């Protein structure tokens, strides 16, 4: 007998999607892409290699069982381009079939798949031709997407073309942190332009493949706040937030059926004529030192109102190995999501980052983002206490 429904303080809209998010390179293991190659150069903070990661390539059914255990009705995962198109123009049937199985496994369990087509990692042939700096790159991407749409179009309705275009191009082409470690403002801008084109082409390919699909991007938006209530400071904040939060969305807005929001950061900006400094208040922080600032999700959602589009929160989460902040983190952020919905933002779903502890890019396996911890030797998954808190919320469609 199901437990009698408790009276909920925060009730979410009917059909609201509850899920988690992952990405191929961070969980699958055994990938042959530009990151895999780059990791071997000793660039990862904890000295690790992505290696077999969570072994999700083999354990995908087990992962879906966990999604089910969370009472989730969606799961956001990404496709590894280098598996699907290991050589330019040559598609791997087994890889495509394996991803179709994953989508089917979701469907069989009443889970709506949200599929990301590009979560930063590239096939080697693509990287070797200059990656997103090559003016052909959007066309190459389209070729891959068209093939994927043909194979998965019947099983997938919600598509996310590109994950966090700004985080990616900033770290790879401006900050010099991720492969290919460039430090050039012009390359950074060029990559952004090509990513926007790639998105647009993918949008049309996906819609050609299926009439009722919905296509968006995952946009990392941050809540920028002025440290001083002074005109110059406020103006700088406006410019920074216009650039970071809105320039890419503005470019692609005519080819978006929804906006995917990834919310992690609050930045207090102190500006003077000599430059500006971005700070956090750091009263509450995650294991990575990131400030925990739940109101920021409300502010970033309200900023999206102007686009008049449905919004899916496609990532929100924290590194918390001891799991002593995650449950509150989730509830607090959801309270603010609920408030944004009450105030008219059409939020359709929430995906927590992440289902599993995984390979956190240049930070390796040290940060623990999972609702489930993973033993990286045995690949055993174990729920953290916050997993059952999140499962209850999903089951009750509120709390
Ligand atoms: C998201 O990016 C990503 O979409 C996801 O893949 C990632 O795991 C998650 O957040 C958590 O970080 O600079 O390589 O040392 C949000 C932006 C990208 C900021 C990774 C922190 C730190 C790792 N984050 N970055 S690294």
The answer to whether residue 223 sits within a structural domain is yes
For residue range 312-336, list pLDDT tens digits in order. Answer: 999 999 999 999 999 999 999 999 9
The answer to whether residue 1 sits within a structural domain is no
The answer to whether residue 4 sits within a structural domain is no
The answer to whether residue 6 sits within a structural domain is no
Judge contact between 112 and 104, C-beta under 8 A. no
* Residue 39 burial class via C-beta count within 10 angstroms: exposed 0-12, middle 13-18, buried 19 and up: buried
For this structure, is 299 an active site residue? no
Concatenating the DSSP letter of every residue in 359-393 gives --GGGTT-S---SEEE-TTT--EEE-HHHHHHHHH
The answer, yes or no, to whether residue 272 has pLDDT greater than 90, is no
Q: For atom 17 of ligand 1, which residue has the closest CA?
A: 167
CB atoms closer than 10 angstroms to residue 110: 11
Q: What is the dihedral of CA 385, 387, 389, 391, to 10 degrees?
A: -150
Element (H, E) at 175: none
What's the number of domains the chain is made of? 1
H-only helix segments in the chain: 24-27, 34-39, 56-69, 81-84, 93-108, 124-128, 137-152, 165-169, 185-209, 231-241, 247-252, 295-303, 326-342, 385-396
353 lines ligand 1 (CB under 6 A): yes
Tokens 């911890």 correspond to 373
Centre of ligand 1 to C-alpha 360, Å, is 7
39 lines ligand 1 (CB under 6 A): no
360 lines ligand 1 (CB under 6 A): yes
% residues pLDDT > 90 (the chain):
93
CATH number of the domain that residue 49 is part of: 3.20.20.80
Instruction: Determine the structural domain holding residue 379 and report its residue range.
Output: 17-396
The answer to whether residue 2 sits within a structural domain is no
The answer to whether residue 37 sits within a structural domain is yes
The answer to whether residue 7 sits within a structural domain is no
For residue range 200-211, list pLDDT tens digits in order. Answer: 999 999 999 777
The answer to whether residue 72 sits within a structural domain is yes
Q: Which atom of ligand 1 is nearest to the CA of 167?
A: 17
For residue range 77-88, list pLDDT tens digits in order. Answer: 999 999 999 999
d(CA 323, CA 330): 12
For residue range 350-397, list pLDDT tens digits in order. Answer: 999 999 999 999 999 999 999 999 999 999 999 999 999 999 999 999
């Amino acid at each position: 007998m199901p437990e009698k429904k408790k009276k909920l303080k925060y009730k979410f809209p009917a059909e609201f999607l509850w899920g988690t998010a992952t990405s191929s390179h961070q969980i699958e293991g055994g990938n042959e892409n530009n990151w895999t190659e780059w990791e071997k150069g000793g660039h990862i903070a904890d000295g690790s290699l992505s290696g077999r990661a969570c072994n999700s390539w083999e354990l995908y059914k087990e992962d879906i069982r966990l999604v089910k255990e969370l009472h989730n009705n969606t799961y956001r995962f990404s496709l590894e381009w280098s598996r699907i198109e290991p050589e330019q123009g040559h598609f791997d049937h087994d890889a495509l079939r394996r991803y179709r199985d994953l989508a089917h496994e979701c469907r069989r369990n009443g889970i709506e798949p949200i599929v990301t087509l590009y979560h930063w990692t590239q096939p080697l042939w693509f990287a070797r031709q200059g990656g997103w700096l090559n003016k052909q790159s959007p066309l190459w991407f389209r070729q891959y997407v068209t093939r994927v749409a043909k194979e998965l179009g019947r099983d997938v309705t919600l598509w996310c073309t590109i994950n966090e275009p700004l985080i990616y191009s900033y770290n790879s082409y401006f900050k010099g942190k991720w492969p290919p470690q460039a430090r050039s403002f012009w390359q950074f801008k060029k990559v952004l332009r090509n990513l926007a084109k790639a998105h647009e082409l993918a949008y049309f390919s996906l819609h050609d493949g299926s009439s009722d699909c919905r296509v968006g991007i995952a946009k990392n938006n941050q809540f920028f706040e002025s440290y001083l209530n002074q005109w110059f400071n406020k103006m700088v904040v406006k410019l920074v937030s216009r650039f970071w939060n809105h320039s890419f969305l503005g470019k692609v807005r005519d080819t978006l059926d929804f906006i995917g929001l990834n919310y992690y950061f609050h930045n207090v900006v102190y500006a003077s004529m000599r430059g500006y400094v971005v700070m956090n208040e750091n009263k509450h922080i995650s294991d990575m030192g990131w400030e925990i600032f739940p109101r920021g999700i409300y502010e970033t959602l309200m900023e999206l109102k102007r686009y008049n589009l449905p919004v899916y929160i496609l990532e929100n989460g924290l590194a918390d190995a001891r799991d002593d902040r995650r449950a509150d983190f989730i509830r607090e952020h959801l309270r603010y999501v609920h408030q944004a919905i009450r105030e008219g933002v059409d939020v359709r779903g929430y995906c927590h980052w992440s289902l599993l502890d995984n390979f956190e890019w240049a930070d390796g396996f040290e940060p623990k983002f999972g609702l489930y911890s993973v033993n990286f030797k045995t690949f055993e998954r174990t729920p953290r206490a916050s997993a059952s808190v999140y499962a209850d919320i999903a089951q009750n469609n509120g709390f």
